[in-house]
A = this chain, B = another copy of it.
Amino acid sequence: MSPVPGTGSLFKRLLVGRAVRSDKLGDTLLPKRLALPIFASDALSSVAYAPDEIMLMLGLAGGAFATTHSWQITIAVVFVMVVVVASYRQNVHAYPSGGGDYEVATVNLGPKAGLTVASALLVDYTLTVAVSVSSGVQNAGTVLDFVQGKEVMVAVIVIVFITAMNLRGVRESGKAFAVPVYLFIFAIIGMGIVGFFQHFNGTLAPAESAGLTLVPEDGKELTGLAAGFLLLRAFSSGCAALTGVEAISNGVPAFKKPKSTNAATTLLLMGTLSITMLASIIALSQWSGIQIADEPATQLLRDGQAVGESYVQNTAIGQLSESVFANFHLGVIFVSIVTGLILFLAANTAFNGFPVLGSILARDGYLPRQLHTRGDRLAFSNGILILAAAAILLVVVFRADVNALLQLYIVGVFVSFTTSQTGMVRHWTRHLRLERNSKERARMQRSRVINAVGAVMSGVVLLVVLITKFEAGARYAILAMIVIFVIMLGIRKHYDRVRDELAIDWDKDKPLLPSHVHAIVCISKIHKPTMRALAYARASRPSYLEAVTVDVDPDETQALLDEWDRHDIPVPLKVLSSPYRQITRPILEYVRSIRSGNPRDIVTVYLPEYVLGKWWEQVLHNQSALRLKGRLLFTPGVMVVSVPWQLASSEGAERDWIDEPPVPGSVRGGNL
């Protein structure tokens, strides 16, 4: 509500745009060139922090350790990526409806498995927003000095901005987001090509941190088990590059036809680009001698002396761009801008996936119905707003610290991968039982092998992630998943219970018509609203009609009775005594006494209600009526009738009062 009628809706119109008709939904389907930036920006953008995390983790055991092992870790991550992309290409063909991992798990492994996947994905979507935006702000901080020290505030502002963009609907977001994603791909691949050329010509400048010595965090080199654990930890962090694969499989219905083929192609394209960029950044980082430390102030030595707190450790991409474009400062700025931008856009992937999943869960009764049935611009406003709130909470709690947030990350993704791929194996096994065509059978068997490899691989990675990150933060993510799981199961059980209770057994529950209607009009004063309530009650021609007032103050009651007589109001006025000067209880008791004398009758209670334009005006009125209504609803055989009186101030306020968002249709997830 806004003081000037109409500005509220105008503001909403500007922010959210105009409502979209159902039959125009086809227009919002995405061609591949828009689907790639929308659904793949998460996976692509992770090359902005995944290399740093690999080097940082390895660097805990010193610079030599990092140099030796970073290539091994990269190859392991790339291998996992290849397997996962191959697996998900099977998914998008088998399940083109966009339920994604949730659908696959539910159909093949049962509702509890589906719900597990859903809980995991909801948590990870939130973390995607928090991690990407925090990393984007960190990146922006390397060029924009004023951001430093205000990371949390800037990150919150960015999330709010992305939220507003998404409330405008998927199409506009797509267009707005496409350009920076392509610019990022261009910048990183371009930097790679130039860098490789320079390296093989021997003209690649050393990085700003190349002259530093990276010492182990606790001062000594690691060996044996400890070294192995560190390698696994670095691998876990590197696997952040794999998030976002499921975004495409969840988003299949948003693709233009042929949906599955287009989605599979986009998936392949995304995997190839991701691997290329990750590998080239790691390679160039090695060649230019970049050192990334967990505690730069103490771990990095210059001429044997710790560099101290004043040292600002730039990201790998940042240092790399300064080496490659040492004589082309515009290139450095360009890389830094597009990196920051794509990270913000990566958060958008979650803003596409989260509300769709939430809506599907609401449709299945696991979340409140509102999440399914409301929203402007065919997007799912409620889900978007919940995601934004949760992400802001994470950013604030973890002070926008990318490294801390990454410890909670990707557990959910690999829970989802593992469950979904296991489900896919079951899927093919089931279909193979029915399929007789040998060519089809061969294709299915090949798919089953791919998905089986995917399942085993994801399971192993999940174990590694759990072991290496549990203490560091993953336990909070798992706790959140369990809480969400339990809440969703509780909501579903509640809806089931209510449905059973409300179901009609047509043989037994013959609806009986009540025999009489006793109408009661509650009166405290004689004025227009009460006279209207009386007139409406009379027009409804009940079997019995009386006005009722509660005797709280004898003088006022007498004055009311006198006025009633003076104006010859043609309805009897009954006075209810109230020794404790209550209003609700005497009316309740009177209603119950009518019902107990005539159990087949119903009692209709007419309450005059004032309608005002401003919320604070509303607070000053109707309080007794609201209380009375709240109690009457618990009394069987009673109807409560609100007879509104619109005061002058209510005019024009209706538009602001309660918004009427269109209900999203079934296209984006309803046909599961």
Residues of A within 8 A of B (CB): 19-23, 368-370, 373, 491, 494-495, 498-499, 501-504, 506, 509, 511-517, 526-529, 531-532, 534-536, 538-542, 552-553, 567, 578-585, 602, 604, 609-612, 617, 619-621, 623-624, 627, 629-634, 636, 638-648, 650, 653-654, 657-658, 660-666, 670
Contacts and interface: CB of A to CB of B under 8 A. Distances in A.
Given A644-B640, A646-B634, A617 B494 contact: yes
Candidate in A368, A503, A511, A604 with the most chain B CB atoms within 10 angstroms: A511
Nearest to A528: B502
Contacts of A583: 373, 663
A517 B519 CA distance: 15
30 contacts: A22-B580, A370-B623, A498-B610, A499-B527, A501-B648, A502-B645, A502-B647, A504-B526, A504-B527, A509-B528, A509-B531, A511-B534, A512-B535, A513-B535, A517-B540, A553-B665, A578-B663, A580-B662, A581-B664, A604-B641, A627-B658, A627-B660, A631-B660, A633-B642, A634-B650, A639-B641, A639-B642, A639-B644, A640-B641, A642-B642
Contacts of A621: 498
Contacts of A531: 504, 509, 511
Given A581-B663, A634-B657, 18 more contacts: A19-B580, A368-B619, A368-B620, A501-B648, A502-B527, A503-B528, A504-B528, A512-B535, A539-B602, A552-B663, A553-B665, A553-B670, A584-B660, A585-B660, A611-B633, A630-B657, A630-B658, A634-B644
Contacts of A540: 517, 540, 542, 604
A448 B479 CA distance: 76
Contacts of A640: 641-642, 644
Contact of A22 (B534, B579, B584): B579
A506 B567 contact: yes
Nearest to A611: B633
Contact of A373 (B532, B624, B644): B624
A634 B654 contact: yes
A514 B646 CA distance: 17
Closest 9 CB pairs of A and B: A581-B663, A580-B662, A634-B654, A502-B527, A633-B644, A514-B539, A630-B658, A640-B642, A584-B660
Contacts of A662: 580-582
A541 B513 CA distance: 11
Contact of A620 (B494, B529, B610, B648): B494
B538 A513 contact: yes
A456 to B, nearest CB: 40
Nearest to A378: B581
Given A527-B503, A641-B639, A631 B658 contact: yes
A595 to B, nearest CB: 13
A21 B582 CA distance: 10
A502 B645 CA distance: 9
A579 B620 contact: no
Contacts of A623: 368-370
Contact of A501 (B581, B647, B665): B647
Contacts of A636: 646
A541 B541 contact: yes
Contacts of A22: 579-581
A556 B600 CA distance: 34
Contacts of A665: 553, 581
Nearest to A498: B647
A549 to B, nearest CB: 14
Nearest to A627: B658
Contacts of A653: 634
Contacts of A578: 663
Contact of A536 (B504, B514, B612): B514
Nearest to A600: B539
A20 B579 CA distance: 9
Contacts of A501: 528, 647-648
Contacts of A373: 552, 583, 624
A611 B498 CA distance: 11
Contact of A535 (B514, B535, B617): B514
